[in-house]
Amino acid sequence: MAQTLIRSKTMQLSMTAVFTALVFVATTVFSVYVPQTRGFFNIGETMVFTAALLLGPIVGAFAGGVGSMLADLFLGYWYYAPATLIIKACEGGLVGFLGRRRLGKLTKPQWRAFTFLTGLVIGVLLASIGSIYYSGQVELYIGFPPASSPITTLDVPKEFWYILGGIVLLLLASSGFIFEPEFGWLTFTVLIGGLTMVAGYFLYQQFFIGPLFDIPVIAIAEIPINISQMLVGLVVSIPVVRTVWRSLPSLRTR
């Protein structure tokens, strides 16, 4: 019994370290410059959500908070690091907590309707935000550490985002209708955690970054960037988590 407990704690510590590193790398290795808002988005949420859903709120909070904070320090955004530690920890902890909960007893048709509605919300958000803020000329940065100049410039049409939003809606809805009616709860969980992150950064930018640097900060302009990070994290992490669950079903009940 004692040996099993020791192994369990050792494994949890090991997985915490691994996912903290993965969050750090995912946050720093890929970024896209958005001319409309003069901002960037990263793909760190993919690992924050994956850690939280697979390993629970404690690992999700630590990996999300510490991994993202270290990425801010590494990239030179030291003034964001304290807020990132708290905001991303709350995000990972909330997703990990809700991921182990369920709504009250619902019938299969009700679960399917719930799944369809969450898919509709995500598809509409992806299509609208992508077409407004990520169409036209976008600059792509890839590397570790990130390159000082974009490796390429892409011309992304608005239609790309409309099609992508429709595909995401179709995939999420079909997953609930064909495979698992409760699939909507998983997407809803990630959506709630991601919106916590969006709200946290909005408040920090509005009430701290502006006064700190004595510059006018339009915090609302960063909301689409943070929502897009959440959506990318959701679209990538959920298939990864479901694949791991099929291979290691014991993780789903931990």
- The answer, yes or no, to whether residue 52 has pLDDT greater than 70, is yes
Report the C-alpha gap between 47 and 160 in whole angstroms: 25
Q: Token pair for residue 172?
A: 């999420």
Residue 95 is predicted with a pLDDT of: 96
Torsion 215-212-70-7 (CA) sign: negative
Cis peptide upstream of residue 145 (ω within 30 degrees of 0): yes
The mean pLDDT value for 21-38 works out to 74
The DSSP output letter for 134 is S
- The answer, yes or no, to whether residue 135 has pLDDT greater than 70, is yes
Cβ(33)–Cβ(150) below 8 Å = yes
Residue 176 is predicted with a pLDDT of: 73
Q: Token pair for residue 149?
A: 């100049």
Which residue do the tokens 């996912």 mark?
19
Burial 46-85 (b: 16+ CB within 10 A, else e): bbbbbbbbbbbbebbbbbbbbbbbbbbebbeeeebbebbb
Residue 6 is predicted with a pLDDT of: 43
Higher pLDDT, 34 or 150: 150
Mean pLDDT of the chain: 81
Secondary structure element (H or E) that encloses residue 158, with its range: helix 158-174
Beta bridge partners of 138: 154
Q: With bands split at pLDDT 50, 70 and 90, how would you rate the model's confidence at 24?
A: very high
Residue 208 in 3-state DSSP? Answer: helix
The mean pLDDT value for 110-128 works out to 86
Q: What percent of the chain has pLDDT over 70?
A: 81
The DSSP output letter for 144 is S
Residue 110 is predicted with a pLDDT of: 82
Higher pLDDT, 226 or 210: 226
**Which domains does the chain carry?**
2-253 (1.10.1760.20)
In angstroms, what CA-CA distances link 186 with 167, 191, 235? 18, 9, 11
Cβ(43)–Cβ(68) below 8 Å = no
Residue 5 is predicted with a pLDDT of: 42
User: 54-92 pLDDT, tens per residue?
Assistant: 999 999 999 999 999 999 898 888 888 999 999 999 999
Report the C-alpha gap between 153 and 132 in whole angstroms: 17
Report the C-alpha gap between 214 and 70 in whole angstroms: 25
- The answer, yes or no, to whether residue 173 has pLDDT greater than 70, is yes
Q: What is the pTM of this model?
A: 0.81
- The answer, yes or no, to whether residue 228 has pLDDT greater than 70, is yes
- The answer, yes or no, to whether residue 41 has pLDDT greater than 90, is no
Secondary structure element (H or E) that encloses residue 224, with its range: helix 223-247
Which ranges of 41-80 does DSSP label H, i.e. alpha helix? Answer: 44-55, 57-75
142 closest CA partner among 250, 61, 25, 236:
25
